[in-house]
Every structure is written in C-alpha cells, then in structure tokens.
Amino acid sequence: MGLFTKKLGIDLGTANILVYVPGRGIVLNEPSVVAVSEQDNKILAVGLEAKSMIGKTPDSIIAYRPMKDGVIADYRVTEAMLRYYIGKALGKFNIFKPDVLVSVPAGVTSTERRAVIEAAMKAGAKRAFVVKEPILAAIGAGILIEEANGHMIVDIGGGTTDVAVISLGGIVASTSVKCAGDKIDHAIVDYIKKTFNLAIGDKTAEDIKIKIGSAIPVKEKGELKLVIKGRDFVSGLPRSIEIGTNEVVKALSKELIEIIKAIKNVLHDTPPELAADIIDQGITMTGGSSQLRNLTDLVKQKTGVRAYLAEDPLYCVAKGTGIALEHLDTYKKSIISKK
C-alpha cells in the first residue's frame, strides 16, 4: 500500500452508481445511464446528463442502462461508464492509479465477475477487487460479519433484491430475484392503466411509491392522497386523478409477495444454528426500495422474524465498499479476486 494509492469503492447498481472515497464519503451518486449515438456507436453522455435524455432523445441517440438486473449487459459501455466515474471521482490532476473495489450481485457468475474486474482495470484501476453486494450491504449497515454469528440481510435495489445469510465473513445461503424498485414502479404504472385508464410515466410511478406507497393497508385516517397527472387512454388528453395509499398497496402486492418468497426460501436453506441467530437479531433491510412504508411490518407478518431498516439504506453498499477498502486484511475472506 503506497502512500499515494487512492482508493475508490464503487456500488455498481442497476439504477444508480455511487462512488465512495475513504475519508471523504460518497463523492458521486449518479444514474447508471449512458447515451450512445446510433450512427458511430459513440458514447455521448454518462450519468445525470444521460438520464435527462431518456425518453426525449432524437432517434439517433439511445440512452440506455448497461447494467441489466444488476449485471453487466454491455461490457464496452460499462467500461466507459466506469472510466468516466473513476476519472470524475479522482479529479483531473491525479496521476496515480487507484485501488478500486466494486460491488457485484450475490448470484454473479465467475465470467461476469471477471468482466467487472477487467472493466475496472481497463478503466484505470491499479488493483481491482470485487465483493458480493449482500456482504458490502452488511458491512455498511454496521454488522460485524466476521463473527461466528448468523445475520440476514435483504438488499432491495433498483434491478434486484438480494437476500443472504452471512456468517464468518461468507455467504451461507442466498438468492437474488429480479424483483425490486424498477418492477415495483412498473406495477404502479400497470395498475393505474388498468384501474383508471390513465397512462403515467416511470418517474410519476416512483413519486407515487415514495410519497404515498405502503406495503400493507393503512386505516382510513392514516391514508395519504396524491393527485397524479397523466394521459387518458381513451381521449388521449391529459387528465388528473386522486389516488390513495391503499390503492398503491393493491398495486404492489404481487411484487412484494415475490420478495417475501425470496426471504422465506433463504430462511428455509439456513442451518438451524444460524436460524436461531437470525430470530434473535432480526433481518436487516438495506437498499433504496427497502424504505417503502411498513415493509418491515410486512416481513415480520409473513416470516415471523422482526425486520428493521438499516441506517442510510440507500448508501449501505457504497459505505461497505469504503470500509472494506480501509480494512482489506480483515475482510480478505470476503474479497473475491484481484488482478
């Protein structure tokens, strides 16, 4: 470890990319979107700038997400995206190559893992490490993962929900389902189309989820209302309607059942000694979509195990990358590979 080696942790998410620098915290939080020109396949914009183009681009520019369901769908674009973020985080006067630690989904194949390492090396890393997301989420949530103690972590991101039981720095049982924030938003879009004949965009759906969404029905007094605007399917004209929390609960129920099913499956595969630990400690929930109102209550209702939200759930994985980088020796069991 040279004195000049910069360190960067990257939470390579389906929806957002966060870059963490030990000592400075999260220096960058931008959407994982890249705008590419169709003619010469050139990369025009990355991150926020590219996201503002989505749905508004002329035909010759495509704005898309190179990370599909948490894994690299397009290698070249992911490499360019990593290079852009590494450069942006380090600033233009940096001549030293950084050590980079990147998060990967729990279900990642060895080929996909190598792709991430190669992309990071090509994008300018001196050494590249990858660690599975649930492990980083647990570290970022303040769990002491090295102990002989079972912890369950449920990380609900944009593209995937990772459920894992961790003990002694490794994953004992885990599953990853492609049901998370994006799918929940789509469920709201579909429900409003079916119920109200109204077309709304993903952005509006996400607003509804955040402002009035809930995982379980609420009493009439506690119901939140929101006026939403969209386009009428029949007349084709703009129209607004008022929608309440309990309608959103109906819209989300199918997706949430998937997430609960994943949790139950992992509990099912957990050795009895560790299951006992999980009952004592509860389930830790991380990731942006774990912030849905009353979701921890739903998990408790359906599994019998209490669940609680980690502090700063959106940033747990990114924080975990930073902590793991500062203590590479402590976590060497959990770090998969380096070049």
Do 134 and 153 meet the contact criterion of CB atoms below 8 Å apart?
Answer: yes
Residue 208, marked binder: yes
Residue 206, marked binder: yes
CATH classification (class only), 7-136+317-338? alpha beta
Domain range 181-251, CATH architecture: Alpha-Beta Complex (3.90)
Domains in the chain: boundaries: 7-136+317-338, 144-179+254-314, 181-251
Residue 324, marked binder: no
Residue 303, marked binder: no
Residue 13, marked binder: no
Residue 159, marked binder: yes
Residue 15, marked binder: yes
What's 243-301 look like in SS3?
EEHHHHHHHHHHHHHHHHHHHHHHHHCCCHHHHHHHHHHCEEEECHHHHCCCHHHHHHH
Decide if 144-179+254-314 and 181-251 have a common fold: no
Residue 245, marked binder: no
Per-residue pLDDT of the chain (339 residues), as tens digits, is: 445 568 899 998 878 889 998 888 888 898 888 888 877 777 888 888 887 776 666 767 777 777 766 566 677 777 888 888 888 888 766 778 889 999 887 777 888 888 888 888 888 888 899 898 999 999 999 998 888 899 999 999 888 899 999 998 889 999 988 889 989 999 999 999 999 999 998 889 999 999 999 999 999 888 999 999 999 999 999 999 999 999 999 999 999 999 999 999 999 999 999 999 999 999 999 999 999 999 999 999 999 999 999 999 999 999 999 999 888 877 777 776 554
Q: What is the pTM of this model?
A: 0.87
DSSP code of 13? Answer: -
Residue 29, marked binder: no
Cα angle: 120, vertex 125, 126; to 5 degrees: 135
Domain range 144-179+254-314, CATH architecture: 2-Layer Sandwich (3.30)
Residue 59, marked binder: no
